[in-house]
Amino acid sequence: IAAGFGSLPLAAMAAPLTIGFSQVGAESEWRTANTMSIKDAAKKARVNLKFADAQQRQENQIKAIRSFIAQKVDVIAFSPVVETGWDTVLREAKAAKIPVILTDRTVNVSDESLYVTFIGSDFVEEGRRAGRWLLEHVKKNSPDSAVNIVELQGTVGSGPAIDRKKGFEEVIAANKKLKIIRSQTAEFTRSKGKEVMEAFLKAEGKKINVLYAHNDDMAIGAIQAIEEAGLKPGKDIVIVSIDGVKGAFEAMIAGKLNVTVECSPLLGPQLMKVAADVAAGRPVPRRIVTQEGVFPAEVAAKELPNRKY
């Protein structure tokens, strides 16, 4: 028989790739954009996507992964809500010979062969970028005063919360006048961001000079709390956050947020490409890092029309 289309085995022609994807939840604007990116890219790549929302609970993610194994999907992808506690279920996937791709967040496992690759941002570097912006801002605006910082952390035990704290602390250590006076989780959500900021304001009041929020949604929630306390966000309290979602650009244009460090959620197209490579047995890099920038309030109006999330 002549080589070519006619000689392809039926399975290779007919069967689209099936990917089981376990998403963290719908906690932030970032997450919504990430989910859309994955669903859109799957459609474009004609991938059969089985999508499960874990509502921020690890046990739901473990259940979803087990169900993907039972359904014999070609590839499992997931964004792990926390870093630890994945060894058992990932060993089950490995035993079933289903490759696992991590997107957005990574895991802490004893056996590195439990996943093929991790596509996502460098969260320590994002924390450093936030810290560097603040050091510069302090140098220009108030080089001689003490700077009291409050910090809203992301989900306890999650990669971005751990790493964004670490990178920021590492950089601000260069100036002893900068001090984190309160730090608490607000679970990456607006409502918690508002609630925890209210508590910070009650405890520390006008002592607070800076808010560092691990994501824009918590910063946006905190902005409401600051306004309700009769203070001016972006002025009385300088606000630094991470993600770069549209809501942050709007807050910057309104003068209520000072800077956002970009973290791109648009991981769908890369995931589809890597999943196809993995399923075909082609080698893929162990780590795929997202490219990102830093956007201060001065450029917000010019940049907003270019934003895709």
User: Which residue among 65, 263, 272, 278 contacts ligand GYE (CB under 6 A)?
Assistant: 263
- Give the nearest distance from C-beta 243 to ligand GYE in angstroms: 5
In whole angstroms, what separates CA 186 from the centre of its chain? 15
Q: Would residue 263 be called left, alpha or beta, if left means φ above 0 and alpha means ψ between -120 and 50 degrees?
A: beta
Nearer to ligand GYE among residue 122 and residue 277 (C-beta): 122
Whole-Å CA distances, 239 to 84, 213, 228, 258? 31, 8, 16, 5
Compute the distance between CA of residue 275 and CA of residue 166 in angstroms, rounded to an integer: 31
d(CA 234, CA 190): 17
* Residue in 215, 260, 264, 270 binding ligand GYE, rule: CB under 6 A: 215
**Smallest separation, CB 142 to ligand GYE (Å):** 28
In the complex, the smallest distance separating the C-beta of residue 176 from ligand GYE, rounded to whole angstroms, is 29
Taking residues 185 to 214 in sequence order and writing x for each that binds ligand GYE by CB under 6 A, - otherwise, the string is ---x--------------------------
Tell me, residue by residue from 99 to 128, as one string, x for binding to ligand GYE by CB under 6 A and - for no binding. Answer: -----xx-----------------------
Based on the shown chain and the rule CB under 6 A, indicate whether residue 163 belongs to the binding site for ligand GYE: no
Rounded to 10 deg, the angle between the 216-228 and 29-44 helix axes is 150
Instruction: List all residues 6 or more positions away from 58 whose beta carbon is below 8 Å from its beta carbon.
Output: 80, 81, 82, 85
Contact footprint for ligand GYE (CB under 6 A): 27-28, 30-31, 104-105, 160, 188, 215, 217, 242-243, 263
